[in-house]
Amino acid sequence: MFSHLSRFKITLTLILLNSIVYLISVGVSHSLIEIDTQTLVDMGALFGPYTVLYEQWWRLFSAMFLHGGMTHLLMNMVSLYLVGRGVESYFSSKAYLLLYLFSGLFGGIASLYMHPVGVGVGASGAIFGIFGAMAGFFVAHHHQIQAHTKAFMKDFAVILGINLVLGFSIASIDVSAHVGGLIVGSLGGFFLAKYPKLLWLYGVVMLLLLLLSSLWLSSFYATLS
């Protein structure tokens, strides 16, 4: 058991952090099953007017650890456990964390664009990002690990399909964050699978794109007001 914990420490740490933040939100909202919107906003949820117009960009990060209810949390944490272990096995610790982080941040950017006055929370963008990173890895190395690639892509398609169906069926789930995280994670995973020593370049490019995205969002929101 302890060897399992040490082997997948990043995945389990992320699950622990999300769970702790949820327990805090439970204490603030006095509800175990469903967290009210005002509590989520007060704790750092994505909300366009605050995030963009008031330049509270830190909400892109804080929203990744907030969840709207117990079902939302459990669905995300099970998904994170399933795919996170694979990412932790195939990528370095730093690459895993950056892929998770940037996928979540750009998923938030997508959410802010699609839902300017909506409230967004959840690790879904980041989790879809590491799903995408695994796909990118297998595509990059499909000649060397063909058998594993086929098995993974089949499982990946099933899990992705289920999550997208849930996303379109449940109004509170933001599909735009899923898609944004998936695209960013897929491209990042492919690049880092091909050029693992260029992690620094990946980080620099992502930061620059994040800055440009925030400037573009500010201009976009200015046209709405």
Q: What residues are annotated to the active site?
A: 124, 178
Residue 58: partners with Cβ closer than 8 Å, 6 or more residues away: 44
- Is the torsion defined by CA of 20, 2, 185, 162 positive or negative? negative
| 24-49 burial: b if 16+ Cβ within 10 Å, else e | ebbeebeeeeebeeebbbebbbbbbe
Nearest to 176 by CA among 106, 224, 98: 106
Return the amino acid letter for 94. Answer: K
Quote the strand ranges of the chain, DSSP E.
46-47, 119-120
- Is the torsion defined by CA of 187, 192, 193, 195 positive or negative? positive
